[in-house]
Every structure is written in structure tokens, then in C-alpha cells.
């Protein structure tokens, strides 16, 4: 059991988990901004164009009407299918997906440019280095050894 918790501690203390957690927090905050844009800006404009004041309320389908008592208070909420809310969620998703696409596309382009720059620098460095002298052949090495042996015998 100690090994299990030790492995979990090692896993959770890695930088990737922290990066992922920060990404989730930022995505949640971004989702709130996108929800506000869709619900408070885009949907009222779409509702105005379609002739209604609130698009999300106009596209609801009441299956079972709510039940009210004598005082006018809701006893049973009934059943309502909210197509307007669904359309709002679809628009919200499309906006978030588009922004994620732009971010990934930008990241890939930056990575490609960095790889091309590194390749050019490596080619330039290779071109600047002088070529190594050719290694001696086997015959040259044997001749050199023979000459050294002759000089040692004298």
C-alpha cells in the first residue's frame, strides 16, 4: 500500500499534472467567457433577427404544462424540452472548437518554424566545420609500422 501511495505521489508531483490542472482551470474560465458571449450577445441578436426577444425561450417545447395552485405558485414544473438552450450550447461549442483550432494551428506553425530554423543552423554549422582529413589506408599504416620497426632496429 505504501508503494501505491508513493507512486501516486510521484505521479501527482510531476510537472505535467500541474500543467494539465492549470489548463483545466483556464479552460473553465474561458468557457464562462464563451457562455456569456453566446447567452448575452449572440443569442439575443439571433432572437432579434428571428422576431423574438429571447431565442433560448422561443425554441422551447412544452410537453407537459406546469401545474399551479390557487395562489399561482408552481406545484409541478412540468416537462419542457429546451431546443433554444441546445442551440446555444452548439454555438458555444463551435466557438470554443474554433478557438482551440486556431491555437493548435498557431502552435504547429511555430513548432514548424522552430524546426526549420534549427535545421538551417545545423546545416550552417556543418558547412563551417572543416572536413576531417581522410583516414590512412591499411597499406599506409603497414608501411608506417614497418618504417618504425626498421628505425628501432638500427
**Around Cβ 88, how many Cβ atoms within 10 Å?**
20
Domains in the chain (CATH in brackets) are: 2-130 (1.10.1200.120)
CB neighbour class for 56 (10 Å; exposed up to 12, middle 13-18, buried from 19): buried
Residue 60 has pLDDT above 70, yes or no: yes
For the segment 62-84, the average pLDDT, to the nearest whole number, is 79
Quote the mean pLDDT of the chain: 81
Range 126-150 average pLDDT = 82
- What per-residue confidence (pLDDT) applies to 58? 67
Q: Could you tell me which of 96, 91, 79 has the C-alpha nearest to residue 55?
A: 91
| Rounded distance between C-alpha atoms, residue 28 and residue 92, angstroms | 13
Amino acid at each position: 500500500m505504501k508503494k501505491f501511495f508513493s507512486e501516486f505521489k510521484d505521479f501527482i508531483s510531476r510537472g505535467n499534472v500541474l500543467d494539465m490542472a492549470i489548463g483545466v482551470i483556464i479552460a473553465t474560465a474561458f468557457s464562462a467567457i464563451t457562455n456569456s458571449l453566446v447567452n448575452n450577445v449572440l443569442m439575443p441578436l439571433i432572437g432579434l433577427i428571428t422576431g423574438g426577444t429571447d431565442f433560448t425561450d422561443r425554441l422551447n417545447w412544452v410537453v407537459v404544462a406546469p401545474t399551479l395552485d390557487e395562489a399561482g405558485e408552481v406545484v409541478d414544473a412540468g416537462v419542457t424540452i429546451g431546443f433554444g438552450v441546445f442551440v446555444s450550447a452548439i454555438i458555444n461549442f463551435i466557438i470554443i472548437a474554433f478557438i482551440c483550432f486556431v491555437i493548435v494551428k498557431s502552435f504547429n506553425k511555430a513548432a514548424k518554424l522552430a524546426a526549420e530554423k534549427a535545421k538551417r543552423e545545423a546545416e550552417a554549422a556543418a558547412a563551417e566545420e572543416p572536413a576531417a582529413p581522410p583516414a590512412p589506408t591499411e597499406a599506409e599504416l603497414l608501411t608506417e609500422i614497418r618504417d618504425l620497426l626498421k628505425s628501432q632496429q638500427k
